[in-house]
Amino acid sequence: MKVFHNAKFWHKASFKNNVKAILTEDGRIVKLLTSLPKSTQDYELVDLKGNYVYPGFIDTHTHSFEGGLYSLMIDLGGARNLQDVFDLIAEGSQDKGKFVFAWNFDELKIAEGRFPTRAELNAIVRDKNLVLRRVDGHSCMINSFACYNILSLLGNFHCEDEVFKGFENDRAVHWFHNNIEHDLILKAYHAASEIALKGGFSTIHTMVGDANMSIGHYSLIQENLANFGVDYVLYPQSFNIEAALEVGAQRIGGCILADGSLGSYTAALYESYQGRPIRGNLYQTDAYWSDFITRAHHHNLQVGVHCIGDRAITQINSVYLALANSDPKDLRHQLIHCEITDDALVNQIKASGAVPVMQPMFDRLWGGENGFYAKVLGKERAENMNRFATMFSKGIKITGSSDWYITELNIVKSLDAAMNHHSPAEALTAGQAIDIYTKNAAWLSHDEGVKGQLLTGLLADFTVLNYDLKKPGADKRVVATIKEGKLLYENL
Ligand SMILES: [Zn+2]
Ligand SMILES: [Zn+2]
Q: Which ligand is nearest to the CA of 66?
A: 1
C-alpha of residue 62 to centroid of ligand 1, in Å: 6
C-alpha of residue 307 to centroid of ligand 1, in Å: 10
C-alpha of residue 336 to centroid of ligand 2, in Å: 7
Distance between CA 139 and CA 359 in Å, rounded?
24
Exposure of 288 in the CB half-sphere (CA atoms within 13 A): 9
C-alpha of residue 256 to centroid of ligand 1, in Å: 8
Pairing of the two strands 201-208 and 57-62: parallel
Q: Which residues have a beta carbon within 5 Å of ligand 1, which is an ion? A: 255, 403
C-alpha of residue 59 to centroid of ligand 1, in Å: 12
C-alpha of residue 255 to centroid of ligand 2, in Å: 4
Pair 105, 121: CB distance under 8 Å = no
Residue 359 sits at the vertex; the CA angle it makes with 180 and 256, to the nearest 5 degrees, is 50
DSSP label at 227?
Answer: G
Q: Which ligand is nearest to the CA of 261?
A: 2
Residues contacting residue 232 through CB under 8 Å, at least 6 positions apart: 64, 189, 193, 203, 204, 205, 206, 221, 225
Q: Which ligand is nearest to the CA of 207?
A: 1
C-alpha closest to that of 431 among 4, 74, 11, 61: 11
DSSP label at 11?
Answer: B
Domain ranges of the chain: 2-55+459-490, 66-179, 250-444
SS3 259: coil
C-alpha of residue 252 to centroid of ligand 2, in Å: 14
C-alpha of residue 225 to centroid of ligand 2, in Å: 24
C-alpha of residue 79 to centroid of ligand 2, in Å: 27
Residues contacting residue 244 through CB under 8 Å, at least 6 positions apart: 215, 236, 238, 251, 252, 296, 301
C-alpha closest to that of 280 among 301, 235, 304, 310: 310
SS3 456: coil
Helix (H) or strand (E) holding 462: strand 462-465
Distance between CA 314 and CA 105 in Å, rounded?
35
Distance between CA 210 and CA 223 in Å, rounded?
19
C-alpha of residue 206 to centroid of ligand 2, in Å: 12
Distance between CA 110 and CA 19 in Å, rounded?
55
Pair 168, 447: CB distance under 8 Å = no
Distance between CA 466 and CA 176 in Å, rounded?
41
Distance between CA 329 and CA 349 in Å, rounded?
16
C-alpha closest to that of 297 among 327, 258, 317: 327
Q: Which ligand is nearest to the CA of 305?
A: 2
2-55+459-490 CATH pick, 2.30.40.10, 3.40.50.150, 3.40.1080.10, 2.40.37.10: 2.30.40.10
The phi, psi pair for 226, rounded to 5°, reads -70, -15
Residue 144 amino acid letter: S
C-alpha of residue 281 to centroid of ligand 2, in Å: 14
Q: Which ligand is nearest to the CA of 267?
A: 2
C-alpha of residue 9 to centroid of ligand 1, in Å: 32
C-alpha of residue 119 to centroid of ligand 1, in Å: 34
Helix (H) or strand (E) holding 99: strand 99-105
C-alpha of residue 298 to centroid of ligand 2, in Å: 24
C-alpha of residue 203 to centroid of ligand 2, in Å: 19
Domain at 250-444: CATH architecture: Alpha-Beta Barrel (3.20)
pLDDT value of position 138: 79
Distance between CA 232 and CA 60 in Å, rounded?
10
Q: Which ligand is nearest to the CA of 405?
A: 1
In 105-158, alpha helices (H):
118-124, 144-154
Pair 336, 307: CB distance under 8 Å = yes
pLDDT value of position 332: 98
Class of domain 66-179: alpha beta
Distance between CA 164 and CA 167 in Å, rounded?
8
C-alpha of residue 63 to centroid of ligand 1, in Å: 6
C-alpha of residue 5 to centroid of ligand 1, in Å: 38
- Residue 307 bridge partners (DSSP): 337
Residue 68 sits at the vertex; the CA angle it makes with 62 and 69, to the nearest 5 degrees, is 125
The phi, psi pair for 479, rounded to 5°, reads -105, -20
Per DSSP, the residues of 386-453 read S-HHHHHHTT---EE--TTTTS---HHHHHHHHHS-SSGGGPPPHHHHHHHTTHHHHHHTT-TTTSSS
C-alpha of residue 260 to centroid of ligand 1, in Å: 11
Q: Which ligand is nearest to the CA of 308?
A: 2
Pair 134, 106: CB distance under 8 Å = yes
C-alpha of residue 170 to centroid of ligand 1, in Å: 15
- Flag residues of the chain having pLDDT under 70: none
Q: Is 97 left (phi over 0), alpha (psi -120 to 50) or beta?
A: left
Pair 131, 120: CB distance under 8 Å = no
pLDDT value of position 160: 86
